[in-house]
Amino acid sequence: MGRTRDVFWRLLPLRNAATGNQDDPPSGSSRETFPSGIKLLCSPEDSATDIVFVHGLTGNRDNTWTARNSTEPWPQALLPSTLATARIMTFGYDAYVVDWQGMVSQSRIVNHAWNLLTSLASYRENDGTNERPLLFVCHSLGGLVCEDALVTARQRTERHLQNILHSTRGIIFLGTPHHGAGLARWAELLSRSIGLVKQTNPNIVEVLRRDSEVLARIQDSFHTMAMARSKEGLPPIEITCFYEELPLAGVGLVVPQDSAILPGYIPIGIHGNHRDMTKFVSIDDPGFVAVSGELGRWIRSIHAAERQHDNPPQSSNSDFEEQPSSANQSGDGNRQFNNFGTGIMKNVDGHYFEAKGNQNFVTNVKNIYAEASASGSKVYRVIPFNPNEDIVDRAHIFARLDGLLGARSGYQSAALYGLGGSGKTQLALEYAHRRCRHDPACSVFWVDADNETTFAQDYKSIARKLGLDELDGEKLLTAVRERLESERGWLLVLDNADDLTLFGVGERSRDTSSSRPEKLKSLHNYIPRGAAGTVLWTSRDERIVGTLVGPRRGIQVGEMSPEEAISLLETLRNEKVDSDEAADAEELVKELHCLPLAISQAGAYLRRTSTPIKEYLSTLKEGKGRWKLLEKTEFDRHRRRGVPNSVLKTWSISINRIRQDNKMAYRILHTIAYVNNQDIPFEIIRGAGLFGDEGGKGESEEDKYRVKEAVTRLTEFSFLRMRKGRSNMRSYEMHKLVQEATRYGLSVGNSEEEEAYFSKAALRVIAKLFPERKLETWPECEKYVAHAVQVGEWAEICKSEAEVSDLLTRVSDYLFDRGRWREKEPVDERAYNLRKEVLGEKHLDTIRSMANLAATYYTQGRYSEAEPIEIQVLELRRKILGEKHPDTIQSMANLAVTYHGQGRYSEAEPIKIQVLELRREVLGEKHPDTIQSMASLASTYYAQGRYSEAEPIKIQVLELRREVLGEKHPDTIKSMGSLASTYHAQGRYSEAEPIETQVLELQREVLGEKHPDTIESMGTLHAMRNLAATWNSQGRCDDGLALMDECLQLRRTVLGLDHPFTKETEQTLNGWKTRRR
C-alpha cells in the first residue's frame, strides 16, 4: 500500500506541489477556474507560421512546458530566439484522469478535440490568420486530442474548421500513446486502492488501454486522413515522434517507445521521463535542440514552397515530378507511402495528388504533354451564351480573378460564391469571354453543374466538339476529363454548383429525417486537373471554399456598390439618370439593396414600360404593388431557361435544398423572415430553431450543436451574415429581399397554415425574450425592440392580435422610459387599433392603449390632440372602474398635466390636489405615484411663480424618492433638477449650479446623452451659467452659448423642429446671441 501511495503522489497534480515538478495548476487555482482554451505566448509582427502546444495527462497549458525554477514556459522564453517568425500559442483543457479532492472532468477525448478545433479556428478566424501554416507540439494525451481534432476537421463542412486541417503542416508528438500506455493501469489501480481518490474519468482511462476501440478508431482515422491529403490536393503532414528514455520513479516508462512512435516517421529519444520530457531549461538542452530543430526545418521548407509557388518555373515537359523526399520519407524506410504502393506527385504550382505506379504515371503524363505541345492542338470554345454587352465592370472582382487565375503555368482553380442573384454567372461569363479574347490559344468550356443531368448533357456537348461523341455514360465523362487534361491551355467554368453533394462535399445530410439519399456518386472524379488547366466554379454554397477549391481561392460576390448599381440600372433602362431623378435612382437601388438581379429586373421593366423611376419607386414601396413588381420575370438571354428569374422566386431552389438538408435551418429561415432583418441577436435565432421542440427542460448540448449547424448552413448560402465589429453581442443580418422571398414562398404556395405558424413563432420567440420593464433591462430591451415592432406587422396573419398588442404595449413602455416618443407613436397606434378591432372600444386594454397614445401626443407637445383622448379615457374609466381606481386617478393626473402644458394652471391645480389626496388615501404616502402627484403639484406652483410653496414640496419629494427609489433612479435625478430650477428662479445660483452639474452628469450616465431629460438638464444648466456669467461678471458667456447650442441640436434631433421645448430653446439661444452683439 505504501508503494501505491508513493506512486499516487507522483502521478497526481498536487494542489501544493512542494518540488515544483508536477504539472499542477497555479497555486490557489480551483477546478472551476481550470486554465482552458487558447493562450497567446508570443506574436511577432512578421509572424508567418503558427505553433500550438497541447499538453497531456494531468497537465496544464502553462506548467506542462515550464521547467523547475523557471518563471515562464520555454515556448515563450526560449523558442522565439530560434524561430523568429512563429506565433506561439498554448491550448489548455481539463486532462485530469483522477482527482483526490473533488469532481474530475468527464469529458472524452472527442470533446477535448472539438474544443481544440473550434477554439483554434475561432482564434485564427478572428484575426484573419486561419490559412496560415500550422504546426502542433503535443505531449502525451494531447497528441491523441490533436489527431482527433484533425480527423474531426476533415469530417466537417465548415470552412473555418477545415482550414485547420488544410493549414496543418507538421506535428511533434512527445510521448503520445499511439498504441496505449501504462498509465491507464496505474490510474485504475489508484482509483480502486486509495480512498483519497474521489473520482476517475473512465472515458480517458479506457482510451489509454492497448486494446481500446476508441484509440484504434483515432489511429485508423488519422492515418486515413494523412494518406488522403495528397488526393485532396494538400501537402503531407510532417511528423516526428519523440519518446521518453527514462522511467518515471515508481511507475516506469509511462509510454514505451513502441507506443510513442509511428512507422515511417522520424523517432527521436529524449533523455527524460514522461513528465520532464516537456521541460527544457535552456537553448542548449538536447531536447530543446531536437524539438526546435524539427520545427525550424519544417518552417524553412514551408517558406521555400511558398516562394516556389509565388515564382514557379516555366512550363516544360517536366511539369510533373516526384515530390522531393524529406529525411523521414526516403528509401525503404518511407513506410508512410511505400506500404500502400502509392506515389506522391507535385506539379509546378504546388498541388499534390496521389497515383498508383508513380513512375509510369509520370512518364505517361510527360508524353501526353509533349504530344499536345508539339501538335499545335486545335482551340475549342463551348460557351452557351454570347458576351453580355450590358455587364458592369465590377473591377475589384475581376482583379481578384486575374490574381488567382493569372498567367502562371500549372493547374489553377477558383470559385465565385455568394447569394443567388448577386451576379456570379454573369461575372464568370464575362471572365470566360475575356479569356477567349486575351488568350486566343486557350480552349474554353462551360458546364452547368446544377445537377447530374445538366452536367452530363454539357459534357456530352463538349465531347461532341472534341470528337468523343461515340462514347456514353461514365466512359464519356472520363474521356472528356482526360482529353481536357491533355490540352495545352484550357478554362472550364462549372456554373451553378450549388449542390455540393454531387461533388462529394457533405455527402451525408445533416438532417436524419431528410428523404434525400445519403450518398450521391461524386462528379468530382470527372473534373480535369491538367497541368495547363484552369477551373472556375460558381456556387451559392460557401462550403465550396476549402473543399473543391483551396481555402484562399474563393471570392465572395455580394451586393454591388451604389455606383455600380446605378450604372447597371442605366444600362438596362437604356437611359442615363439625369439630375432630376438622381435622388430617386439612389433611393431605388438602396430599396433593392443593390442586388444585381433586382436592379436588372427593375431596369428591364422601366425600359419595356417607359415607367419613370419615381413612379416605379412609389409602387415598390406599396405593400401590394411591391410584390407584383418583384415577382415579375423579365427575359434575359444570358440566363438559363426554365430557372426562376424573378427576385422573389430566385431563391426558391436554395430554400428547398435547405429544407432537405436541415429542417432546423429551414425553420429558422422562415421564422426570422418575420423579424427585422438587421441586428438579429443569436438568441432570436436559437429561439427560432428550438421553437416547438418538446420537453421544456432547457437547452441541451445536442440542441446547441443542432442550432450551430443550422446557422452554419444558412450562412453558407448567404441567407445569414454575421455582423462584424460587434464585440458585445453576437448578431446577424438577413438580406431584406431574401426575407420577402421567404414570406412570398409561403404566401403563393397555399400555405396559410405555415404563414400563420412561422409568424406566430416569431411573435412568441420575441415575446419570450423581451424583458420586463426595469432600468437595468434597458440594454436587453434595446436588442429586441425593432424585432418586436416588426412582428407586430403580422398580427392578422398569425391571428394573434391580442398577443401582438400586449407585446407592443411593453415596447411602448420601454420607449416611454427612454424618451423616444416619436418612435412610440406608431407602436401605440398599432396596439390601439388592434385592441379596438378585436376587444372593442370599452375593453380595459383598449382604454389603456388610448391612454398611451394620448401620453405620446402630450410628450411631443401636441396638447390639443392629447386632451380629447384623455377626457374620453377618464370618462370610460370612471364608468367602468370607479372614481378611486388607480387607473382612473392616473387619467385625472394625465389630464391635469395636459392643462398644465397648455398654461391652464388654474384648471390643472384643483385636479392635481384631488389626485394627490386620492393617492394618499388609496396608495399611501410613500407610493411612487403619490410622490409623483406631489411633484406635479409643485411644478404648477413653480409655473405660477409661487416658489415659496413649491420649494418645500420639492425638497420632500426628493427625500422620499431617494428613500424609496434610490439615488440614481431617473425620477430621483429629475427631482434634483426640479429643486435646482427653483433655486435658480429665486436667484440662488450658487445653490443651483452644483446640483444642476450633478444632475447633468447623472442623466448622461443613467439615461444617455440623447434622452430628453438629459437635454432638458443641459438647457437649464445653460440658462443658469449664462445668467451667472452676465450678472456676476464671471466671463463664462462662451461656455453657456456653446452648451445651449448643443442642447438645441439634440432637441431638434430627438424632439423635432416643432416641439415647444425645441422652439423655446431656439428663442433663448437667439436672444443671448442678440444681446452679445
Share of the chain above pLDDT 90, in %: 38
Mean pLDDT across 331-356: 32
The predicted pLDDT at position 491 comes to: 94
Asked if 804 and 992 count as a contact pair (C-beta separation under 8 A), the reply is no
CA–centroid distance for 973 within its chain: 39
Residue 150 has pLDDT above 80, yes or no: yes
The predicted pLDDT at position 623 comes to: 61
For 894, residues 6+ apart whose C-beta sits below 8 A from its C-beta are 851, 854, 855, 858, 870, 873, 874
Asked if 911 and 899 count as a contact pair (C-beta separation under 8 A), the reply is yes
Residue 705 has pLDDT above 70, yes or no: yes
The predicted pLDDT at position 456 comes to: 92
Residue 153 has pLDDT above 80, yes or no: yes
Mean pLDDT across 824-828: 94
Mean pLDDT of the chain: 79
Look at 7-21, 153-167, 959-973 and tell me which has the smallest mean pLDDT. Answer: 7-21
In this chain, the answer to whether the domains covering 31-93+109-185+208-309 and 562-630 adopt an identical fold is no
Residue 36 has pLDDT above 70, yes or no: yes
Residue 368 has pLDDT above 60, yes or no: no
The predicted pLDDT at position 938 comes to: 94
Share of the chain above pLDDT 70, in %: 76
The predicted pLDDT at position 753 comes to: 84
The predicted pLDDT at position 364 comes to: 36
Highest mean pLDDT of the ranges 33-42, 115-124, 573-582, 627-636:
115-124
For residue 139, which of 246, 204, 42, 59 has the smallest C-alpha distance? 59
Residue 180 has pLDDT above 80, yes or no: no
According to DSSP, residue 492 is labeled: E
Highest mean pLDDT of the ranges 775-784, 810-819, 928-937:
928-937
Domain 381-556 has CATH 3.40.50.300: yes
Look at 133-137, 230-234, 429-433, 760-764 and tell me which has the smallest mean pLDDT. Answer: 230-234
Residue 694 has pLDDT above 80, yes or no: no
Mean pLDDT across 639-656: 67
Question: Residue 558 has which C-alpha cell?
Answer: 455580394
The predicted pLDDT at position 1054 comes to: 64
Residue 41 has pLDDT above 90, yes or no: yes
Domain ranges of the chain: 31-93+109-185+208-309, 316-375, 381-556, 562-630, 652-799
The predicted pLDDT at position 26 comes to: 34
Highest mean pLDDT of the ranges 302-306, 870-874, 969-973:
870-874
Residue 165 has pLDDT above 50, yes or no: yes
Look at 425-434, 542-551, 853-862, 986-995 and tell me which has the smallest mean pLDDT. Answer: 986-995
CATH class assigned to 31-93+109-185+208-309: alpha beta
Euclidean distance between CA atoms 211 and 205, whole angstroms: 12
Residue 587 has pLDDT above 60, yes or no: yes
3-state class of 628 per DSSP?
Answer: helix
According to DSSP, residue 545 is labeled: B
The residues facing 537 across adjacent strands are 415, 494
Residue 949 has pLDDT above 70, yes or no: yes
For 865, residues 6+ apart whose C-beta sits below 8 A from its C-beta are 854, 857
Q: What is the 3-state secondary structure (H, E, C) of 9-42?
A: HHHCCCCCCCCCCCCCCCCCCCHHHCCCEEEEEE
Residue 316 has pLDDT above 60, yes or no: no
Look at 178-192, 234-248, 332-346 and tell me which has the smallest mean pLDDT. Answer: 332-346
pLDDT band at 724; cut points 50, 70, 90: low
CATH number of 562-630: 1.10.8
The predicted pLDDT at position 173 comes to: 96
Asked if 39 and 89 count as a contact pair (C-beta separation under 8 A), the reply is yes
The predicted pLDDT at position 774 comes to: 84
Buried b / exposed e across 891-913, counting CB within 10 Å, b at 16+? Answer: bbbbbbbbbbbeeebeebbebbe
Residue 479 has pLDDT above 80, yes or no: yes
pLDDT band at 1047; cut points 50, 70, 90: low
Mean pLDDT across 755-759: 92
Q: What does the pLDDT look like over 895-908, one tens digit per residue?
A: 999 999 999 999 99
Mean pLDDT across 500-504: 89
Q: Is the sign of the CA dihedral 853, 854, 856, 862 positive or negative? A: positive
3-state class of 351 per DSSP?
Answer: coil
Higher pLDDT, 1010 or 200: 1010
Higher pLDDT, 197 or 709: 709
pLDDT band at 1002; cut points 50, 70, 90: confident
Look at 293-302, 375-384, 848-857, 883-892 and tell me which has the smallest mean pLDDT. Answer: 375-384
Question: Residue 1073 has which C-alpha cell?
Answer: 446671441
The predicted pLDDT at position 1032 comes to: 34
3-state class of 533 per DSSP?
Answer: strand
3-state class of 966 per DSSP?
Answer: coil
Mean pLDDT across 916-926: 94
For 842, residues 6+ apart whose C-beta sits below 8 A from its C-beta are 876, 880
Asked if 617 and 588 count as a contact pair (C-beta separation under 8 A), the reply is yes
